[in-house]
Amino acid sequence: MIIDKKIGKVEIANRTVDISQRTTAIVAGTGLLVMFFAAVFANFFVIDGLIAPGDAERTANNIMANESLFRFGIVSFLIVLICDVLVAWALYVFLNPVNKSLSLLAAWFRLVYTAIFGVALLNLVIVLRLLSTADLLAKFEPNQLHTEIILFLNAFNDGWLIGLVFFGLHLFDLGYLVFKSGYIPRVLGVLLIMASFGYLIDSFAHFLLPNYADYEAIFLLIVAVPGTISELSLCLWLLFRGVTIRQKDNRALASA
């Protein structure tokens, strides 16, 4: 009877751990999926759709004429920030059997990126306040207002680029953990490491190359292709295959 009880306890403990692993896989996969759609909307439909490079007046007019869309863009970025925190936690738990220290480091890199991006996002809120508050509009000459708008939009972009350096480091660490795990396809690890170099190269190029605009299309390709493929692939794997992985099997594979 004592042996049976002990075995029962072990089985119950294992079930609890397995549920935890499935939960973190679902949280991470769902977070990455929601983040993808929110980021695409905020980036391509809001930021790229309303900001006219080199034309401050047109940019200001676009934002004022589409204030609701701009507000939805800010909210979408906030959703991305929330998902980033959830994904950082979930991936830490999911990859903890591989290497606890490196898994924690990967989570911290993502959280630092999230914090920096959150500060950068304040610049979009300031732009919204400048263009939607009558008292503030009355205090600025049109040229001065347009200059302020471009200054804050550039500050948002530069802050985000600084944050992406830490995101690139996160992806490198994450890719290494995935590659070493033994229970996640190694090709995903390779793709994540390639994406990390893309983010790092693009971020540093922005600050190092005065003529970055001449090569912008190339750098965007370096970031967009491996970044999109690797993150979406990891997302789908977590949702469809990660939920079937048992933690006790993880530890056995990771130590093999």
C-alpha distances in Å from residue 78, one per residue of 82, 104, 112: 6, 23, 15
Evaluate whether 219 touches 237 at the Cβ level (below 8 Å): no
DSSP 11-57: HHHHHHHHHHHHHHHHHHHHHHHHHHHHHHIIIIIIIHHH--TT-HH
Distance between the two ends of the chain, CA-based, in angstroms?
35
For residue range 49-96, what is the model confidence (pLDDT) as tens digits?
999 887 888 998 899 999 999 999 999 999 999 999 999 999 999 999
Structure-block tokens of residue 125: 């809120």
Domain coverage including residue 68: 2-254
DSSP assignments along 92-125, one per residue: HHHHTTT-HHHHHHHHHHHHHHHHHHHHHHHHHH
Average predicted confidence (pLDDT) for the chain: 85
If one counts the domains in the chain, the total is: 1
Question: At 250, is the pLDDT very low, low, confident or very high (cuts 50, 70, 90)?
Answer: low
Whether 220 shows a pLDDT value over 50: the answer reads yes
> Pick the residue with more confidence: 137 or 234?
234
Residue 115 predicted with pLDDT over 90: yes
